[in-house]
Each structure stands twice: as structure tokens, then as C-alpha cells.
Amino acid sequence: MMKVAGQEGAARALGMSTVAFTVCFAVWTIFAIIGIRLREELQLSEVQFGLLVGTPILTGSLIRIVLGIWTDLYGGRLVFTLNMLAAAAATFLLAYADTYPTVLLAALGVGVAGGSFSVGVAYVSRFFPPERQGIALGVFGAGNVGAAVTKLLAPFVLVAFGWQAVAEVWAVALALMAVVFWVTTKDDPVIRERRLTGARPKSALLELAPLRNVQVWRFSLYYFFVFGAFVDLSLWLPQYLVRVYDLDIETAGVIAACFSIPASLFRAYGGHLSDTYGARRVLYWTFLVSVVATFVLSYPAADYVIHGAHGDIRFHLGMGLVGFTVTVFVLGFFMALGKAAVYKHIPVYYPAHVGAVGGLVGMIGGLGGFVLPILFGVLLDLTGLWTSCFMALFVIVAVSLTWMHVAVRQMERAAAGPALAALPPFPEMLDMPRPILAAAPGKAVLTDWRPEDKSFWNATGRRIAQRNLWLSIPSLLLSFAIWQVWSVVVSKLPLVGFNLTTDQLFWLAALPGLSGATLRIFYSFMVPVFGGRLWTTLTTWSLIIPAVGIGYAVQNPETPYAVLLVLALCCGFGGGNFASSMANISFFFPRAEKGNALALNAGLGNLGVSVVQFAVPLVITMGLFGKLGGEPVMVADPSGPAPLWLQNAGFFFVPFIVLSAFASWFGMNDIASAKASFSEQAVIFERRHNWIMCWLYTGTFGSFIGYSAGFPLLSKMLFPDVNALAYAFLGPLVGALARSGTGWLADRQGGARVTVWVFALMMAGTAGVLWFIGIKDQPGAFWGFFVSFLVLFFATGVGNASTFQMIPAISAREMARLMPDADPETRRRQAEKEAAAITGFTSAIAAFGAFFIPKGFGTSIALTGGAEAALWSFMAFYVTCLGITWVVYARRGGLLHDVERQRRSVVASAAR
């Protein structure tokens, strides 16, 4: 870390950076005010409004890590200036947007202003020594007050001259600030020293090295709350006050500033407290007070009636405007302290990577400002409660506090390990003799596992691996069934008396996709931490929650919608299980058989989608459990009233879940050499092939699960005269069977080579769908459309197997380069661990296709009147997947070309 290069230069750099960041932040949050007028003019829904105010936050967040790296490489003075000029141009053009799509496009450019934070952090920190960086970055971060500047001034400009004038004035101010900043500041000491010595900056990839540390991601979660929630509330509070307390826009802006001002100006004081008392103590107080504040703000206004001994006692509980203002002031004050405390850590722990680490933390925090407005709009639409936004914040801060406390306690236990281990279980036993425990060795843990050793594999390994595989498959099949059960249940809810809107039904069907994909990210790393046997058992038991919950909830039409939403989210347990199941099975098989093993596990597991779409419509017409299963509901049927046991959609799977969970516990094994902590597995975030395979697997599995969810609805909309639901299960069935039946093809021919042809076939299938949509009014068009989709499902199944076969091959190939001095066995174990983590993580990212492909169809139809725009975008995506697979892996000189060519030669020789 460079020392201060002259107090005058440091003071000027800090002062001008703070002013510049204030102007940038004022521009970044401009939609907090003009968005209210735009919502009225464009007649936006709550979700559309949330997307509008969140779009610039998304850009400003995603660009932070790139701008941070550029600042480390090229200097903050240059990057900051160019950043402000680019944002000024986009903000000026915003004044000429007159439709929702063009306003969204302009908002993406406006968001560039938010990226200035990571530039300023890296630039300012280089002027100050470690003992003064807390206060310096606290002063710089006080530029968040720009949000209050917008709330105080923009309403008056808007009322007097219109929202377009606000955009033009703010753009001119930002452009002038860029010029002033360039003229009045100097390059930081590191850049000046490089020029004197002629040293070249490091590679941008080296700047990403610290991102493997779990500590960085924990800091990111903290910042997601203290900064992301601050940005979000800055955007959300004006309309909250207008809608809840019936205030005019000017008054709402002033009161909202009571939150933004302390959440900005006191950041400098937070830096001082962090320098003086320690950042950890400041964060503890921040989270503790925030838990209380968000809980109080979460409570909706309600009237209560207590039936007392002498009559009813009635009272009202709700927060008035004064109490609300005071509480958000307190919340903003402690958020300011927390923001400073988080960034106190970064230049101390990562002095050579302030830009990259600060950029990542800032990016995750800024993403809170994008995700939370949309989440707030969704929660408002779903629950009808304005206070639901604070309920979401309460959950986030509670998780942050818990994670921080657990991490601190783990650190303390590690430091005092021997002393703690010597203590008895209870204080009363201090003077008693300690019992002698004799632990019997368990057969469930495999301490000697060498699948690449052919003699070991043929004698012992194959039998054990096959047993674990065939116990894993039914567990995964049940997981997929529970994950997709709402896709069948939601269509029947109106029949049994539930009065839900189409939008509410859509969210019930979509939420399992979101929660399942999100859980996969965490489940990806759990097998090496807990062991495959224990984790498979626990995750299988977790399916009981949504299965039983659905069984009881659907029997009563008065069940609150919030309960149905929670059950839909819990169905995501099934989606999350895929990541851990695939990671677990990958440890058991040698590289030559991984492709087929993973294909069988995933392909037969994927059959759960077809099972639920085929079996549930049958079992809900039968009284399978007698009186134990509840009474049926009489519903209209073409042949007359008929009984319907909708509860069987959940209850039907319960016995199978119980059997599978017991079988997993008593029949599966853990592999001792597969144990690894999260930090050991987090090395995959440095591997570029991890991110490439995320892209490719999204093309295969993301398409499979997305089309599984979207095909029935799309068919119904395009061909209303055809009973497409009767054939819906065939698509997932073809995809699942293709995956389980073609794993050998990737093992024999090479995953990269097969994947190239897969994407070519997917492009052909998409072209067929587009063609038959174009002639959908002609006879036979549906069958051409249906066959084209079956081609797509078949291709996704083959591609799911081939891409997963590529992952262990890539990891094994890379170990020779990454660990040149390690022995073959060490390389093998490391390759196994990384391949398992990459397998799980790629499945997590790809699973978001379950939400975004159906949503893409819906958005395309809403904006253009047809699904063609979505399909053309999918076609373009498949083109990029084919090109990447060929260039990086399959072509001569590609990473896997020689490996796969050698494998084909060996297979051909064996065949002869």
C-alpha cells in the first residue's frame, strides 16, 4: 500500500471524488422521482415500475467489478472521468425516450453512473495509509447523499418544467463535473510510480484471484443489505409515502430524504468508528438495530378484537407517519455505519486488489438495488401488503447477522480449539472424570477409493459405485417430480374453489423454478462438506415438507395465498437436489465412465418431470388413501360431476420419499477423499472454463427445463383448438430418455464433438418451430410444431449428457497446467473436487431457464404479439454456444481435441 503522496494531493483527491460521486449518485437515483411521473404517463404496473427503477441499478452494479479492475490497471482519474461522460450522454438521451422499451434502454445507460463507486474506492484508497482509510472511504461514501439531492431538488424541477428537464439538467451537471474532476485532480501514486519505473500493470485475470475467498462473498452479502437496501429504499420510499400516507410528491421527497441523508452523511462517521473501535463491532450494532427496525416496519396496520371476560376489547395497531419517519431515520443512520464498516475491511485485507474486490462487493450490493425493487413489486402484487418490502429486508439482515456471528464463532473456536476441546459437555461436569469413548469405525465411509485403478475398480469399486448410482436415481426422480408438481396443481386449483387470478397462478408455477435454481448454487458445494450419504438423505427428507404441505393446503380453498407461495418456494428443494446429486455421483466413477453414469443419474432423474405430468392427473381421480387422504371435491366433468382428490398430488409421493430416504441412509456411502470445505471448492470461480460451461449447459439443460415449463402454455395459446396438454409429458420424456440413453455416445466420441452437433440440431429444431408458428393456421401445423419441439427436447437430452461429460475431462486436462509439480494422484483428487463443484454450479445457473424461458415467451407475446422474438433470441444463443464449443474445445488445437481423438482411437481398437 502506497503512503500518502502529499497531504494536499490526498485531500484534493478525496474532496473532488466525493463531490463527483455525489453527482453520480444523484443521476443514478433519478428514477426515484421521475419514475413516478413516468408510471402515470406509461400506465405501468407495480412490477414494471420496479423493473424501471431497478434497471439503472443493475447496470451500475454489474459494471462495478469491470470498472474496479480498470481502475487498478489504468488509474481512477481517467476511468472516473470517462465514466461520468458516458453516464451524462445516456441521461441526456433519456429526455427523448417516449415509450417503455426506450425508457428502459436509456435507463441501462444512466446506470453507468452507479459504477463510479468502485472507481472512487480504488482511487481514493491509494492516497491514504491503512490507519486512515476507514475515515477516508467513509467520507467518499458520503456521496450517497446524492440520492437526497435528487429527492429534494428533482420534484420542484419536475413540477415546474417536466421530467424531461430533470434528465437534461442532471446530465449537464454530470458532464461539467467530469471536466472539473479531470482538471483539478492528479493520477494516484501507484499510476505515477508505474510511469516512473515503466512497470506494466498486472493481467486483469490476476485481479480476480481474491474472489475465491468466501470472506469476500460474505462481505458482499453484508453490503447487499447496507447498500443495496439503502439504494432500493431511496427509490421505493417516495411512492411508498405517496401511496400509504397520501402525501404529495414534494412532501414525500422531503420525508424520504430523512432516510437518505443520514444513510449518506453518517457514512463518514461510520468510517471513524470503524477506525477507532473496529469494523466488526460496528457491523454487529448495525445488524442488531436493523433487525429491530425492519421488524417494526414490517408489521402491517391491523385491527384486533380480543374476546374478554366482560366483552370484546378492540384496538388498532399501526405505524403513523411520525413514527415511520423516525424509524427509517434510525435505520438509515445504522446503514451508513454499516456501509463504512464493510469497506473498512477491503483495503486492509486486499491492498493489491482494492478495485476488483471492492468492485465485486459493490456489484453484489448494487444488485440489491436492482433485485429488491422488483421483489418489492412482486411481493406487493402477491400479498397486497405495502409492508412486505420491510419483511423481505428483515429476512436479509437476519441472515447476514447469523452468518457473521457463525463466522466469528468459528474463528474463535479455531483459535481456542484445544482449550474448548478439553471442556466437558456441561459446567456441572468440570470436576468429574471424563468418560472414555470408543468410536466404532463405520462402513459407510470409503477411506480407500481409487476408481482410476482398473484392478480396484473391477474387484470392488464398480459394485459400490453402481449401488450408489441406483439409489441416487429414485431420489433425484422424486426431486424433479416435487419440483414440477405445481405445474399440474395450479391448473386444478380453480376447480376446487380457489379464487386466484391468472397472475397469481403464474407465480405459483414459476416460483419453484426460481427457488430451485437458487438453492442449486448452495447445494453445489454441500456434498464435499457434509458427505454424499448424509446430504442425499437430508435433501430427500426435505421433499416431505412440500409434499405433505400441498396435500393439506389444497383441501381448503380458504388457505391463504401466502401459504401457497411458501409451499411453491419449498418445492424448490427438489430442484436444488440435482446439483448435489450430480456432484456426489461424479466422485464414484472413473473418467471413462463418468459421462454414462451422470447421464443415467440425470436422465432417469429428469423423468420425474414426465412422471408428475403423467401420474398426477391420474392419481387425483382416485381415493388412494381412503379416509386418511381426506374427502374429494366434486368438480364438473364432460360426463357429469366427478370426485377430485387434488391432495393426492402431494400425498402420492410421500411413501416413495420415505423409502428413498431410508435407502439412501442405509445403502449409500461417503468418500473420505472427497471431503472439502467451501473455500477449497471456491477455486472454481477462478477457472474460466467454469463460466464457459455455465453458458453451454444453460443452452442444453436450461432449454430442457425451460421448454418443459413453457411448452404446454405456449401450445395452448398458439393452438387453442388442440388438447396439447395431453401430449405435454412426451417432450420431457424424450429429453430424459435421450439423456440417460446417450451418455455412452459422449464417452465414446467425446463430449465436445457431440455438443457441437447438439447445438446444430437445436438450431434446426428452433427453425422448425418458427416455421410452423408462421403457418399455424394451416392444417397439420400443430403436428409440425410438436415434432419440432420433440427434436429440441431430444437434442437437449443428448446435450445434457455430453456437456456434463466434458466437465471432468476439462478439469483433468487443466490440472497438468495448474499443478505441474503435483503427483498424479493429487491431481486426480483435485480434478475430481473441481469437476464436482463445477457440475453442481453449472446446473444451478442453467436451472434459471425454468423461469426465464417461459417468461421470455410471455414477454415476447406481450411486446410483439407473438413468440417469434423469443425464439429468434434463443436461436442466436444456440449459435454462440456452437461457436464457443467448437473454438474452445472441439477444433484442432482446442482443449479437448487431442483427448477425445485419443479416446476414439482407444474405443475403436477395443472394438476390433
pLDDT score of 670: 82
- Mean pLDDT for the stretch of residues 157-176: 88
pLDDT at residue number 179: 93
- Above 50 in pLDDT, residue 461? yes
Task: Name residue 210's amino acid.
Answer: P
pLDDT at 555 over 90: no
Which residues, other chains included, contact 677 with Cβ-Cβ below 8 Å and sequence gap of 6+? 528, 529
pLDDT-wise least confident of 194-203, 314-323, 766-775: 194-203
- 8 backbone dihedrals φ, ψ, rounded to 5°: -65, -45
Q: What pLDDT score does 734 carry?
A: 85
- What average pLDDT score do residues 510-537 get? 78
Residue by residue, what is the 3-state secondary structure of 262-289? HHHHCHHHHHHHHHHHCHHHHHHHHHHH
Beta bridge partners of residue 445, listed in sequence order: 670
Triad 665, 616, 783: Cα angle to 5°: 120
Q: Which three cell numbers stand for residue 492?
A: 386444478
| Structure confidence at residue 153 (pLDDT) | 83
Distance, in Å, from the CA atom of 602 to the CA atom of 801, rounded to the nearest integer, reads 8
H-assigned helices in 775-911: 781-818, 824-846, 849-864, 868-884, 897-911
Who has greater pLDDT, 358 or 402?
402
With H, G, I as helix, E, B as strand and everything else as coil, classify residue 423.
coil
pLDDT level of residue 911 (50, 70, 90 thresholds)? very low
726-748 core/surface letters (b: 16 or more CB in 10 A; e: else): ebbbbbbbbbbbbbbbbbbbbbb
Q: Cα separation of 732 and 488, whole Å? A: 14
Window from 434-443, 512-521, 815-824 with minimum mean pLDDT = 434-443
At residue 71 the predicted structure's pLDDT band, cuts being 50, 70 and 90, is confident
* Phi and psi angles of residue 556, each rounded to the nearest 5 degrees, phi first: -125, 110
Most confident of 571-580, 630-639, 736-745: 571-580
Measure the CA–CA gap between 319 and 300, rounded to whole angstroms.
Answer: 8
Determine the pLDDT at residue 795.
92
CA 261 centroid distance within chain: 31
- Could you tell me the pLDDT band of residue 6, with boundaries at 50, 70 and 90? very low
The pLDDT score that the predictor gives to residue 330 is 87
Say whether 447 sits in a helix, a strand or coil.
Answer: coil
Q: Are 651 and 455 spatial neighbours (Cβ–Cβ below 8 Å)?
A: no
Between 171 and 233, the more confident residue is 171
Q: What is the pLDDT of residue 172?
A: 92
> Which residue would you say has higher pLDDT here, 595 or 171?
171
What average pLDDT does the chain have? 78
pLDDT of residue 427: 59
Question: What pLDDT score was predicted for residue 681?
Answer: 57
When pLDDT is averaged across residues 222-240 and rounded to a whole number, the result is 78
How do strand 670-671 and strand 445-446 relate by DSSP bridges?
parallel
* Predicted pLDDT at 586: 77
- Going by their DSSP bridges, the two strands 311-317 and 302-308 should be labelled as antiparallel
DSSP three-state, residue 778: coil
Window from 515-529, 612-626, 636-650, 673-687 with minimum mean pLDDT? 673-687
433 CB contacts (<8 Å, ≥6 apart)? Answer: none
Arithmetic mean of pLDDT, 614-629: 80
**More confident call, 340 vs 763:** 763
Cβ atoms < 10 Å from Cβ of 54: 29
Measured between its terminal Cα atoms, the distance across the chain in Å is 65
Res 409 pLDDT > 70: yes
Quote the pLDDT of residue 768.
92
Looking at residue 659, its pLDDT comes to 93
What is the pLDDT at residue 907? 47
Q: How confident is the model at residue 683 (pLDDT cuts 50, 70, 90)?
A: low
Name residues whose C-beta falls within 8 Å of residue 9's C-beta, 6 or more positions apart in sequence. 127, 186
pTM for this entry: 0.54
**Residues whose CB falls within 8 Å of the CB of residue 542, separated by 6 or more in sequence, listed in order:** 573
Average pLDDT over residues 412-437: 60
User: What pLDDT score does 173 carry?
Assistant: 92
- Residue whose C-alpha is closest to residue 239's, from 256, 260, 261: 256
CA atoms within 13 A on the CB side of 583: 36
- On the question of pLDDT at 10 being above 50, the answer is yes
Residue-wise pLDDT for 841-900, tens only, equals 787 778 777 777 877 777 777 677 788 888 899 999 999 999 999 999 988 888 888 876
Confidence of residue 4 (pLDDT cuts 50, 70, 90): very low
Q: CA-CA distance, 164 to 97, in Å (whole number)?
A: 9
Specify the pLDDT at position 84: 92
For 748-800, how does the pLDDT look when each residue is reduced to its tens digit (9 = 90+)? 888 888 999 999 999 999 999 999 988 888 888 888 888 998 999 999 989 88
pLDDT at residue 2 in the model? 38
209 vs 388: which has the higher pLDDT: 388
Instruction: Give the pLDDT band of residue 292 (cuts 50, 70, 90).
Output: very high
Average pLDDT over residues 610-620: 81
